[in-house]
Every structure is written in structure tokens, then in C-alpha cells.
């Protein structure tokens, strides 16, 4: 049967059913097929010039076979019948299985396709074209020149990722979706003699084709330049143990990296999380409730279904300090017993899905941001976080991009060079206050199944004591 090359529609069902039937006759417990089309565009503006345009396209399949608690995975770009059968045979062979052309199989065929893509067919055509994206970015870098001083580097970037996926499995999973993620941002490097500061802001959405045209470049440029100017001449922080207030939005990156990953079942399988035996026990201060979900409209980590065909849902990970759930995928449920949470995610068809975060954030509390700051006699306010690193069991260090000294319950002078150092199991019980201003921020997360789109977030939070590294 001839298949449409441009889309994965119901014409694929006979071929998929044949593959699933062959896998079952070989003795596999379950066979999963992931089909993918992608269309990516990246644009970079430096100073007043477009310096890079990167389009890319891909098309392929990933086939995963389960037998007991073991699995085998093979990916291919050959979507012909012979190519897919070869990939299936290779995945089966990893488990010591081979197709048996017997008439009997417990696979009864696929149900009607659950098609989340129907309303999204025109999304790609509705996105800004290269000319529009380029003009918008150059407008942003020009605004940086208007608002900033001592700017050595001005950059703007745009990325558009369109993806069509279809998942079919021998347990009756049969679903298709289209995803669209776009991000745009500005960043600067300011220098004056020995003084330097580097500040960036990035904005990202999912499922909103015309979002770039509505992006408030002027506000973004003004904020970036104001922060860069403030931090250019800031004093260096004094190292020590002190209370800290972390701002909302991207401040949530620390929870994501230092704690969120430890709540993924992949970490239980590896034996690298200190929380594996802590279900229904306190692991954080009672002020902390943490959520992971894929439902928030427009958020970077939202989708209709995960990469195993399970519909998105809301998962309360920590409630009033008590660990309630882990983030689990198909393999995680099989090997750890923790029920799937719609969190099987992968970068592309070349990766097997794994338990990964979606939109992950600390929930809002009853306090105001000023209330958190006024409760501290001397400490550090972290308005913006930079990069960092995390160890396998939750040890972390994160740079503070923009910080301020707290003195007698109020913000005073700006400080730079600060690094927050700690360990998740020690810091989580010290988050004693959460403000009422929850906001989310777009981000990217790299782990065992590649780089994926995620959202981090939190309200302003107070950490009673944390190690601050400095000069």
C-alpha cells in the first residue's frame, strides 16, 4: 500500500498492525512504534546582522520491544516496509527473540486512531516565515542598542520546532499529535574596563503559531539592559552561609535540577535518588507543594499526549512537604511499580522514551514577596539565575545572574559573583516561605532521552540557610 510521505494518517494502520503482530508472534510482551516528522528553524541575530539560519528536517521511527523487565530499542530513517521490519527484527534480537510466522498471536489489532493533530494541521503554515522572524529579531537587537550602554555584544535568537508524532503499541495504544514550540530571546554582554556583566532573557510557548509577532520585544530589551547596567558595577558577594530569597519564574530551575530529576523513576532504577523509599514521608518543609503537569495552555512543557501515547495529566509530587508521587513512564512503571504519569518523553525518534518532567513548579503560598524579604535581617536576593551543574544524587551549584544584598528586611546594593551551593535533601526542608506570585518560564532539559522542552517555575521562595559561594 502506498503511504502519504508528508503525514502519518490512518493509512499507516495496516503496516503498523503487521509490525505489532510480528512482534507478538516472536514472544514479546509489548511492542511500541514511534513515528516522527520534524521541521526546525533556528535564527540568530548578532548586533544588526542575521548571522545564522539553521533549518533542519527529520523523519523516522523508533521501535521498542519489552520482555519481562528488559527492553530493546532500535531507530531507523527507513520507513519502508522492509526498513521497519528490519528495525523490528533487530530490536527483537536484543532480547533473544525472532519473528515466528505462526498464525496465532494475542494481538487483535489497533483501535480507532485518537487524533489530537486534526485541529493543528495548519500550525506550521501559520508560523512566522524566515523574513518575519529575521525582522523581529533585528528590531529587538536594535532596541538593545537604544536602551543599553557599554554593550559589547547584542544578540537575539529565535527557534521554531514543529513535530508530528504517531504512537502505536500492542496494548492498544494508537494516537497522533502535532506539537509546536517556539522560543525567542535577547542577551547582552556589557563591559567597561575591568567591569563586565552578561544578562539574557528568553521567552517560549507551545501551540501558539503567531506568538513571535506578539512578543513584547521592547519590554524584554528594556529589562535586559537595565539588569546589565545595574550588574556592570555591582560589588562581589561575600561567601558564607545565609538566608536567601529566590525570585519567581526561572528561579524554579534549582528545584527542577536538584530535586525534580530525583523524582523521576529513571533515578530509582539507577539507585541514585535519596527519595526512593520516602513515598508518603516528609522530604521538604510543609510550606512546599510541588507539581508536574502537561496541561497549562501555552506552556513550553505542555502537550496533548506524551511520547508513549498517554494523555497529559497533572501530578502532585510533593504536598505540604510530603512526597506523594514519582514521575513515571512505561518502563518506570514496569520496573519500579510506580504508575505512569504521562511523562514518557524523548527528544526524537532516535531515543527511547524515559520518565521526564513537563511543567514542573513549586505552588504559590500565602505570603507576599516583600514579606519574604522583610523577614531577613541580612541575606541575598536572587532576582535572576544563570547556569549551573547538578550531581547524580542532587548536589548542585548555580550561578546568580542578578543578585542584591538584603539588609534589615530591605534590598540594598547589587551583588555579583554569587553561586548557590547545596544538596536537594538538605535544602528542601529549609524552604520555609512561598509567596503568592507563581510564574512559569520556558527551558530546555537534557537527560537520558535527549533534550526536551520543559517549563520551570515557582513563586518567590525563602530558603532559611544555604551556602553562597563568592570571592
**What residues does each domain of the chain span?**
10-232, 235-469
| Furthest CA-CA distance within the chain | 79
What pLDDT does residue 29 have?
A: 96
Instruction: Tell me the C-alpha distance between 428 and 422, whole Å.
Output: 10
What pLDDT does residue 104 have?
A: 66
Per-residue pLDDT tens digits for 429-458: 999 999 999 999 999 999 999 999 999 999
What pLDDT does residue 3 have?
A: 38
Instruction: Tell me the C-alpha distance between 454 and 181, whole Å.
Output: 10
DSSP state of 275: T
- CATH number 3.30.2290.10 is the correct assignment for the domain at 10-232: yes
Sign of CA dihedral 468, 447, 284, 290: positive
What pLDDT does residue 1 have?
A: 33
What pLDDT does residue 5 have?
A: 53
What pLDDT does residue 100 have?
A: 84
Burial class (CB in 10 A: 0-12, 13-18, 19+), 108: exposed
Instruction: Tell me the C-alpha distance between 271 and 167, whole Å.
Output: 30
Give me the residue label for grid cell 513515571. 328
Query: What pTM does this model have?
Result: 0.95
With H, G, I as helix, E, B as strand and everything else as coil, classify residue 384: strand
Backbone angles phi, psi at 52, to 5 degrees: -155, 135
Strand order in the sheet with 450-458: 322-323, 314-319, 290-293, 359-362, 450-458, 439-447
What pLDDT does residue 106 have?
A: 78
Helix (H) or strand (E) holding 298: none
Low-confidence ranges of the chain (pLDDT < 50): 1-4
Grid cell at residue 190: 556589557
What pLDDT does residue 167 have?
A: 98
What pLDDT does residue 10 have?
A: 86
Sign of CA dihedral 454, 460, 465, 470: positive
What pLDDT does residue 245 have?
A: 98
Amino acid at each position: 500500500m502506498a503511504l502519504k510521505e508528508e503525514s502519518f494518517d490512518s493509512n499507516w494502520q495496516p503496516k503498523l498492525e503487521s509490525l505489532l503482530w510480528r512482534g507478538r508472534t516472536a514472544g514479546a510482551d509489548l511492542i511500541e512504534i514511534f513515528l516522527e516528522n520534524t521541521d526546525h528553524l533556528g535564527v540568530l541575530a548578532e548586533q544588526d546582522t542575521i548571522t545564522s539560519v539553521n533549518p533542519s528536517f527529520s523523519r523516522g521511527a523508533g521501535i521498542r520491544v519489552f520482555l519481562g523487565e528488559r527492553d530493546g530499542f532500535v531507530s531507523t530513517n527507513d520507513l519502508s516496509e522492509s526498513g521497519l521490519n528490519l528495525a523490528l527484527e533487530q530490536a527483537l534480537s536484543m532480547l533473544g527473540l525472532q519473528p515466528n510466522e505462526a498464525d496465532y498471536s494475542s494481538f487483535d489489532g489497533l483501535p480507532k486512531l485518537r487524533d489530537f493533530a486534526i485541529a493543528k494541521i495548519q500550525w506550521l503554515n501559520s508560523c512566522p516565515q524566515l523574513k518575519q522572524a529575521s525582522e523581529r529579531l533585528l528590531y529587538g537587537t536594535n532596541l538593545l542598542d537604544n536602551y543599553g550602554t557599554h554593550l559589547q555584544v547584542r544578540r537575539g535568537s529565535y527557534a521554531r520546532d514543529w513535530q508530528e508524532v504517531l504512537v502505536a503499541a500492542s496494548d492498544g495504544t494508537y494516537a497522533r499529535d502535532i506539537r509546536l514550540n517556539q522560543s525567542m530571546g535577547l542577551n547582552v554582554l556589557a563591559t567597561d574596563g575591568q567591569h563586565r556583566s552578561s544578562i539574557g532573557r528568553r521567552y517560549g510557548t507551545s501551540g501558539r503559531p503567531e506568538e513571535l509577532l506578539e512578543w513584547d520585544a521592547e519590554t524584554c530589551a528594556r529589562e535586559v539592559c537595565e539588569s546589565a547596567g545595574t550588574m556592570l558595577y555591582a560589588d562581589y558577594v561575600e561567601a558564607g552561609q545565609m538566608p536567601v530569597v529566590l525570585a519567581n519564574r526561572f528561579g524554579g530551575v534549582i528545584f527542577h535540577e536538584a530535586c525534580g530529576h530525583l523524582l523521576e523513576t529513571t533515578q530509582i532504577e539507577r539507585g541514585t535518588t535519596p527519595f526512593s523509599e520516602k513515598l508518603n514521608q516528609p522530604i521538604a518543609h510543609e510550606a512546599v507543594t510541588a507539581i508536574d503537569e502537561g496541561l497549562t495552555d501555552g506552556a513550553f512543557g505542555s502537550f496533548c499526549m506524551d511520547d508513549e501515547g498517554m494523555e497529559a495529566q497533572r501530578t502532585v509530587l510533593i504536598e505540604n512537604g510530603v512526597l506523594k508521587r514519582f514521575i513515571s513512564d512505561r518502563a518506570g512503571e514496569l520496573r519500579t511499580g510506580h504508575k505512569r504519569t504521562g511523562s514518557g518523553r524523548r527528544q526524537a525518534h532516535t531515543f527511547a522514551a524515559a520518565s521526564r518532567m513537563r511543567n514542573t513548579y513549586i505552588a504559590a503560598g500565602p505570603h507576599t514577596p516583600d514579606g519574604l524579604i522583610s523577614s531577613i535581617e541580612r541575606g541575598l536576593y536572587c532576582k535572576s539565575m544563570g547556569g549551573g551543574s547538578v550531581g547524580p544524587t542532587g548536589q548542585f551549584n548555580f550561578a546568580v545572574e542578578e543578585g542584591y544584598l538584603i539588609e534589615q528586611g530591605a534590598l540594598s546594593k547589587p551583588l555579583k559573583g554569587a553561586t548557590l551551593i547545596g544538596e536537594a535533601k538538605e535544602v528542601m526542608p529549609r524552604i520555609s516561605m512561598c509567596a503568592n506570585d507563581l510564574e512559569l518560564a520556558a527551558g530546555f532539559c537534557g537527560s537520558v532521552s535527549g533534550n526536551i522542552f520543559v517549563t520551570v517555575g515557582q513563586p518567590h521562595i525563602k530558603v532559611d540557610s544555604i551556602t553562597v559561594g563568592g570571592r
